[in-house]
Structures are given as structure tokens and as C-alpha cells.
Amino acid sequence: MNIKHITAIAAAASFFFFAISATVWAASATENGEVKKVDVAASKITIKQGPIKALDMKDSMTMVYRVKDPAMLKSVKVGDKVQFELDQDSNGYTVTKIKK
């Protein structure tokens, strides 16, 4: 084997490792909470929630989340009890669905 083959194999192995890592890193959960703040301009929502075991959140807390689609913020207001779907990836947490 020459250096070109070794380099190609190393590059392929690195790509495979990062592709698998990204897949394993992504997680999601559906939870209940209460809307504390809606920031349409920033595409963010603040939700008070209980523990989310699927995402290794062991305590109740109030969190600010990015939203996948800012239009979904028009359907909720402060004080609403909601069910929301939350995805976690290498960029943090994102609300992908929300309903009263």
C-alpha cells in the first residue's frame, strides 16, 4: 500500500466516524410545558417544563429554545399549556412542533 491509499482510507474512516457520531448525537422527545415567553423576532420560545429523561434533563427547568418554524409561534401565547416536540443535535435544542 502506498501513501495515497493510506490517506484515502484514513479520510474515508474519518468521514464514516463523523457521520455515525452525528446520527448518534441527534435525539428527540415530546413533552409538556408552559409558555413563559414568545420571541417571534428571534424565533425563540421560553418554556417551563419538567424533567426530560430522553434528553438527559434530570430537573424541572425553564429553557429558551430555538424553533424550527417561526410561524408556529403565532399559535401560542404566554401562559399556554403546550405539548412540544424537542430535537437535540450538535447545535443544541430546537422545538420542531408545538400545540396547545
Has residue 22 been placed in a domain?
A: no
Q: Where are the beta strands (DSSP E) in 19-80?
A: 27-39, 44-49, 61-67
* CATH at residue 48: 2.40.50.320
pLDDT at position 6:
52
Q: Name residue 52's beta-bridge partners.
A: 57
Distance CA 24, CA 45 (A): 26
pLDDT at position 27:
74
Residue 38 structural domain: 28-99
C-alpha cell at 14: 474519518
Has residue 64 been placed in a domain?
A: yes
Has residue 82 been placed in a domain?
A: yes
Has residue 61 been placed in a domain?
A: yes
Q: Which residue has the cell 438527559?
A: 56
pTM of the model as a whole: 0.72
pLDDT at position 18:
46
Total tally of structural domains belonging to the chain: 1
Give pLDDT < 50 ranges for the chain.
5, 8, 10-25
Has residue 12 been placed in a domain?
A: no
pLDDT at position 94:
94
Has residue 45 been placed in a domain?
A: yes
